[in-house]
């Protein structure tokens, strides 16, 4: 059976019907299944790069795109106008949001100014960082104690304890997959040695294969090697980020679930006076944007310098604009009544 034709036909009938045929893809290799779904949804199925700035004709397209996803900085007053009596909970991605995307993932450092801005925001609001990195690695990058951390795209959460302290108990919904994840990591490390520039990163509950330094002529070869390894692990899937392939367990858990888990654990879930504010730049952040969109309450901000489809309502161009937004958010909080916010524990 030609699944591509079948799915394309069903897509014309309505995207919701695609869910009916989801089980038919489970027999496909993880990477091939990912490429198929990206193709169906109109996304590129091949490894590709992402430009980091607006260039040439993109400038006009970006300006038009901003009409649909206005700048969070320019819209700040209108965003906050409806929130004086709401409790804000802040969620932040790391790479591409708090730090720039860099060639060496081990050197994705945030600036001292950004660290101070996040510190100030966390004094005003409960604040969590939800990153694709391992929880311990992103914690080492951020170096702040007065916020909460979730790594591996929300699969490794350090949840507040009963006293609302950030260093509480951990929640790891994919813990049973750890042995297989280590097997996958070792297999990918062995295969990637044959591709110059490829780098495998262990993020505890997911494995990242970076190809920023891989020559274009070797991208297809690297993709094939990853596909070959993943054929032995049907319980995992592959997604593509910015110059990286991410291997994760196929379970019903993502950054959106992690955000909801934090809201629930902090005692703010299903409360009309609580507003989640989420800032992120990656495809995995879209899961959190969808939750905010579905609930009809919250502020979803995409960090992007080129037009792209998103479930966010607002945008910021780059980490420098994120910095300006966070500083403004902290100033706004300090200028309002202290009784309208619920500060994170400063431990």
CA distance 167 to 144: 12
- Spatial distance between the Cα atoms of 284 and 242, rounded to a whole number of angstroms: 11
Q: What sections of 41-164 are H helices per DSSP?
A: 58-68, 76-81, 112-124, 135-142
- CB within 8 Å of 204: residues ≥ 6 apart: 134, 135, 136, 151, 152, 155, 156, 178, 181
Residue 209's DSSP bridge partners are 200, 245
Neighbours of 152 (CB within 10 A): 29
Token pair recorded at residue 182: 């280590």
Active site residue 93: yes
Q: Which of 93, 95, 282, 287 is catalytic?
A: 93
How many Å apart are CA 247 and CA 192, to the nearest integer? 14
Query: What is the DSSP track for 230-241?
Result: HTT-TTEEEEE-
> Could you give the C-alpha distances from 186 to 2, 193, 245, in angstroms and in order?
34, 11, 16
Q: Sign (positive/negative) of CA torsion 281, 259, 312, 310?
A: positive
3-state secondary structure 21-45: HHHHHCCCCHHHHHHHHHHHCCCCC
Q: Going by DSSP bridges, is the β-strand pair 299-303/314-316 parallel, antiparallel, or unpaired?
A: parallel
Residues with catalytic roles: 93
């Amino acid at each position: 059976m030609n699944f591509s034709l079948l799915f394309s036909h069903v897509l014309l009938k309505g995207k919701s019907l695609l869910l009916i045929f989801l089980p038919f893809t489970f027999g496909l290799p993880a990477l091939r299944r990912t490429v198929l779904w990206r193709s169906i949804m109109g996304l590129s199925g091949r490894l590709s790069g992402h430009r980091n700035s607006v260039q040439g004709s993109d400038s006009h397209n970006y300006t038009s795109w901003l009409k649909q996803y206005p700048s969070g900085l320019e819209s700040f007053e209108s965003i906050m106008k409806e929130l004086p009596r709401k409790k804000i909970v802040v969620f932040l991605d790391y790479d591409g949001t708090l730090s720039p995307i860099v060639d060496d993932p081990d050197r994705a450092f945030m600036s001292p100014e950004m660290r101070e801005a996040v510190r100030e925001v966390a004094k005003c609001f409960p604040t969590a960082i939800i990153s694709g990195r391992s929880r311990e690695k992103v914690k080492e990058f951020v170096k702040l104690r007065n916020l909460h951390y979730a790594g591996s795209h929300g699969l490794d959460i350090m949840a507040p304890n009963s006293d609302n302290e950030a260093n509480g108990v951990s929640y790891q919904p994919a813990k049973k997959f750890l042995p297989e994840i280590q097997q996958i990591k070792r297999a990918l490390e062995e295969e990637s040695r044959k591709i110059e520039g490829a780098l495998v990163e262990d993020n505890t509950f997911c494995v990242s294969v970076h190809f920023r330094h891989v020559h274009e002529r070797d991208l297809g070869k690297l993709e094939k090697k990853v596909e070959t390894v993943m054929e032995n692990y049907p319980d995992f899937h592959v997604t593509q980020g910015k110059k990286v392939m991410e291997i994760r367990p196929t379970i019903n858990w993502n950054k959106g679930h992690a955000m909801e888990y934090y809201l629930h654990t902090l005692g703010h879930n299903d409360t009309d006076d609580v507003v989640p504010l989420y800032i992120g730049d990656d495809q995995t952040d879209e899961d959190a944007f969808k939750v905010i969109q579905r609930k009809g309450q919250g502020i979803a901000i995409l960090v992007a310098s080129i037009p792209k489809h998103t479930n966010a309502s607002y945008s910021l161009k780059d980490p420098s604009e994120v910095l300006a937004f966070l500083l403004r958010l902290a100033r706004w909080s300090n200028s309002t009544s202290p009784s309208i916010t619920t500060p994170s524990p400063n431990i």
